[in-house]
Amino acid sequence: MQVESNKVVIIDYTLRNDAGDVLDQSSPEAPLSYLHGHQNIIPGLENALNGKTQGDKVDASIPPAEAYGEYDDNLIQAVPRNMFQGIDEIEPGMQFQAQTGQGVQIVTVKEANEESVTIDANHALAGETLHFNVTVKEVRDASQEELDHGHVHGPGGHEH
């Protein structure tokens, strides 16, 4: 069975940055399963896996535009300190969920003082070319429920 839209794909993967540092990897007991064609994973990796079958190994280098986007300086902004009411200590590197025009986003604190907090709404991997080594473990049909929900159920998927 080939990887195509509406198939459940189970993969082992290692993700490295340009420097060769491992950013993320699946563990042998917990491979990643996702529903192909439903934006569960980044577009560049979906494209690289299209048409593959069980046992295939795929090495893919994915530019930012097909991963988490280019780094955007406009997504850095200073907001008043009083928007963080109830939080005593705000330090660089802390992350918060923020309601923005594009929905809920994770923002990272870059700087904080008594008047203002500078936050960065870029994805942590924005601007990075991502290098994946992937092994396709299994390709199977999705259940109707999985198709309705747009994601995989069971081990490695959503638990609900």
- Kindly state the smallest distance separating residue 31's Cβ from Zn ion, in Å: 19
Nearest residue relative to Zn ion (C-beta): 149
Closer to Zn ion at the Cβ: 110 or 149? 149
- Kindly state the smallest distance separating residue 93's Cβ from Zn ion, in Å: 33
Closer to Zn ion at the Cβ: 140 or 158? 158
128 to 39, 88, 108, 119, 131: CA distances (angstroms): 19, 33, 17, 19, 9
- Kindly state the smallest distance separating residue 150's Cβ from Zn ion, in Å: 8
* Residues at the site binding Zn ion, with contacts judged by CB under 5 A: 149, 158
Closer to Zn ion at the Cβ: 23 or 147? 147
